[in-house]
């Protein structure tokens, strides 16, 4: 089954403790992206990647890091999480850059930073 898999689904952590949210897709997609969703703000793009070793900042990159060492994987790293990073996070992938290419989303990771 074609899918985007992100783990974990739920995570509670303490301020300052480094964490990684994993994301993997099995569709051989070039484009991958991370979003955070907050009430009233919709989904905001954190980082995106156009291919292996090619990443760029989205609208809200501060406090996050990403890497794309393999085409299928795109982990999101929070080096020193803070409470304002408590949010619902989505990983997504897309097969191309044309206007008709939407994103397929993972199931989401609900992160709480205390």
For other proteins, what does the binding mask look like between residues 74 and 103, x meaning CB under 8 A?
A: --------------x-x-x-x--xxxxxxx
Q: Residues 8 to 67: which contact other proteins by CB under 8 A?
A: 31, 33, 35, 40-45, 48-50, 56, 58-59
Whole-number Å distance between alpha carbons of 22 and 32: 12
Whole-number Å distance between alpha carbons of 37 and 87: 6
Residues contacting other proteins: total by CB under 8 A = 31
| DSSP assignment of 32-51 | EEEEEEETTTEEEEEEEEEE
Q: By the criterion CB under 8 A, which residues form the site for other proteins? A: 31, 33, 35, 40-45, 48-50, 56, 58-59, 88, 90, 92, 94, 97-105, 107-108, 110
């Amino acid at each position: 089954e074609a899918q985007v898999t992100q783990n974990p689904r739920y995570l509670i952590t303490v301020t300052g403790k480094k964490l990684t949210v994993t994301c993997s897709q099995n569709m051989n997609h070039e484009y991958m992206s991370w979003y955070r969703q907050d009430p009233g703000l919709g989904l905001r793009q954190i980082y995106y990647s156009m291919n292996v070793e090619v990443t760029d900042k989205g609208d809200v990159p501060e406090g996050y890091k990403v890497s794309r060492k393999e085409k299928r994987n795109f982990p999101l790293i929070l080096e020193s999480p803070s409470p304002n990073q408590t949010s619902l996070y989505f990983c997504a992938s897309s097969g191309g850059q044309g206007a008709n290419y939407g994103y397929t989303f993972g199931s989401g990771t609900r992160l709480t930073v205390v």
